[in-house]
Amino acid sequence: MDVLQFIITVILVTASGALAPGPLFFANISYGTKTGAKSGLIFSIAHTIIELTLVMFLAMGLLTVSNEPVVKITIGITGGIALITFGVIQIKNSFKKEVDNRMHKKPSHKHLFIMGSMLTGLNPYFILWWLTVGSQLILMALELAAFLGVLLMYLCHVWMDYLWLTGTAYFAKKGSNIIGSKSYPVTVAVFGVILIYFGLSFLTDALKLI
């Protein structure tokens, strides 16, 4: 896999996670109605600190065993199954409309940072995603260019978090009903299909090594 193919794969696979209607996203919408883009930016920073730490720990753990066939097969199969599962769940949940509008008091920067950190670090879906699907991407990054590849992978992903969270918080402040728009659930469902495609691809590549 060349650099361009790698970048496209990372963007398509991780975009589904960035756009997924999880707890961080819904909290961001709720806080965004009070603080606008600021909540999205602070949530993104908190999310990045937790996520990048996890990614680097996983990369350090995988570096010494990245060339072992059994590691590639195990991570490929696990990541593939996880991607297919997440894709099916994402398609199923893409048309749900659940936004918590109970928060009325304007939050402080500290409160937003703590909330962003907690909703990231305590989200089982987030942890499971990086332990399965994310590990496959990290393994590909290590094979491409060691830790420089991991940094490239993360940069190709993290900009979407900032754009999505900041943008949706801004429009929530302006009164736009993002969840209720017709295009949003369709977009999420499409990325669910893309997840299933890459899941099958990861499985196929892993099974070829057996």
The DSSP call for residue 149 is H
DSSP assignment of 34-103: HHTHHHHHHHHHHHHHHHHHHHHHHHHHHHTTTT-HHHHHHHHHHHHHHHHHHHHHHHHHTT--------
Q: Which residue has the tokens 């691809």?
A: 201
pTM over 0.95: no
Range of the domain at 201: 3-208
Q: What is the pLDDT of residues 110-130, one digit of tens each?
A: 989 998 898 888 776 788 888
> What domain count does the chain have?
1
Token duo for residue 72:
């590639």
pLDDT tens digit sequence for 58-94:
999 886 766 678 877 887 888 788 878 877 887 887 6
Q: How far apart are CA 144 and CA 148, in angstroms?
A: 9
Q: How far is it, in rounded angstroms, from Cα 73 to Cα 205?
A: 8
